[in-house]
Structure 1
Amino acid sequence: MSVRTPDPDPDWTPGPENIQPPNQNQGWLSDVELADIRRRLPILYIEAVPVRVDGLGQVVELGVLLRARPTGEMTRTLVSGRVLYGETLRDALFRHLEKDLGPMAFPQLPASPVPFSVAEYFPLPGITAFTDERQHAVSLAYVVPVTGTCDPRQDALELTWMTPLEAASEAVSAEMEGGRGSLLRMALASVGQLR
């Protein structure tokens, strides 16, 4: 089952001869098209660290997803995904939080679309702290409080809630893919929880 996000058809415009949008499956990028685009252009992503806060707004838990890679290796990661053409950052953030955490997570999106960090992923290690063997990607990273029940969906196997101290550990960082352990520590620092 594919978990890729559909892309809009840029050639479709409403009109007398085009009352209905074309078949929605035509809006998906094929694997070949996506691979070609990834070789030519950086892709814009959002990443989110879901958190639970106490009555004073202090972060008490952070959520980290567990996923199985195609190789069978288990890794930890954050909520993430591409920003679609014509989609606002707020809409992309909400869509990916719902996709990964379920519709009952009830995220409280930030009032401002300014991220706590911008992470730049490269296919070759050593350029930055972040790697993605598929592509050059730029990711806007957010800390997002959630108030509801999180039920991981799509390719996430589980969501593990951790205290800030647990999330900052070297053990958790070692389990995270692509350098996201560093991004998780940056998230902790942005909310005053890195000791």
Structure 2
Amino acid sequence: MNEIDSADMGPWLSPEDLEFVRGKVPMVYVDIVPVRLDEFGKLEAIGMLLCVTGDTILRSFPSGRVLFHEGLREALARHIEKDLGPMALPQIPAATVPFAVGEYFPTPGAGYLDSRQHAVALSYIVPMQGDCNPGSDSLEFTWFTPGDARTRELQAELGEGHAALLRQALAQMGEL
């Protein structure tokens, strides 16, 4: 058996098994758009990570796979803690209905590109009340005003899928 089964982490696939599964079925991911809201629920800032991918530096949102037998709320909490730290203090939504669904394909031109796999990303806007700090996979975490987030310059720093996600989040919050 190539899986490691830990009571705390749930079953994980070996790198070889994960590659095999990615080649056969779509993977489910969560994307998290961290936000700061004022006392009336109006958007004050959107948070983004600065990450190194190969030889490219890009901005992105916290995201990751939903594990086997893991609920969406647990996946959101796990990826927020991994990418933003234990003091982010997220307000995970009561309903797990995403505000957007992204489709990623390994084939250029078929949709958003993810050369590793076909993936479906359920996207959530999550207010943060605490201090957000980048995880070990990121260089920094920065809050941007809605005005800054609307600029083409900042959107150009995001990968194609996350730039579209940013625009959808701004529209969802009445800021586009």
TM range (shorter): over 0.9
Q: What TM-score comes out, normalization by structure 2 length?
A: 0.92
1:179 aligns with 161
Contact 2:29 2:65 survives alignment (8 Å): yes
1:54 aligns with 38
Q: Which moved more, 1:76-85 or 1:26-35?
A: 26-35
Matches within 5 A, 1:38-187: 38-69=22-53, 71-128=54-111, 130-187=112-169
Contact 2:10 2:69 survives alignment (8 Å): no
Structure with the larger strand share:
2
Once the 2 structures are TM-superposed, how far is the Cα of residue 33 of structure 1 from its aligned partner?
1.3
Once the 2 structures are TM-superposed, how far is the Cα of residue 73 of structure 1 from its aligned partner?
1.3
Q: Equivalent pairs: percent with the same residue?
A: 48
Structure 1 pair 59/127, CA: closer, same or farther in 2 (3 Å)? same
Structure 1 pair 25/60, CA: closer, same or farther in 2 (3 Å)? closer
Structure 1 pair 55/26, CA: closer, same or farther in 2 (3 Å)? closer
Q: Secondary structure at the match of 2:97?
A: coil
Contact 2:102 2:161 survives alignment (8 Å): no
Q: What TM-score comes out, normalization by structure 1 length?
A: 0.83
Between structure 1 and structure 2, the one with the greater Rg is 1
1:92-132, CA deviations, whole angstroms, 9 ceiling, x for partnerless residues? 0011011100000000011110010000001122222x211
Contact 2:104 2:117 survives alignment (8 Å): yes
1:14 aligns with none
Q: Which moved more, 1:48-57 or 1:24-33?
A: 24-33
Structure 1 pair 151/46, CA: closer, same or farther in 2 (3 Å)? same
Q: Secondary structure at the match of 1:157?
A: strand
Q: Secondary structure at the match of 2:23?
A: helix
Q: Which moved more, 1:164-173 or 1:114-123?
A: 164-173
The number of equivalent residue pairs is: 174
Matches of 1:30 and 1:173 in 2, distance apart? 35
1:9-33, CA deviations, whole angstroms, 9 ceiling, x for partnerless residues? 3xxxxxxxxxxx69x8994322221
Matches of 1:154 and 1:106 in 2, distance apart? 18
Match of 2:20 among 36, 39, 53: 36
Contact 1:46 1:139 survives alignment (8 Å): yes
Matches of 2:59 and 2:108 in 1, distance apart? 19
Unpaired stretches in structure 2, ≥5 consecutive residues: none
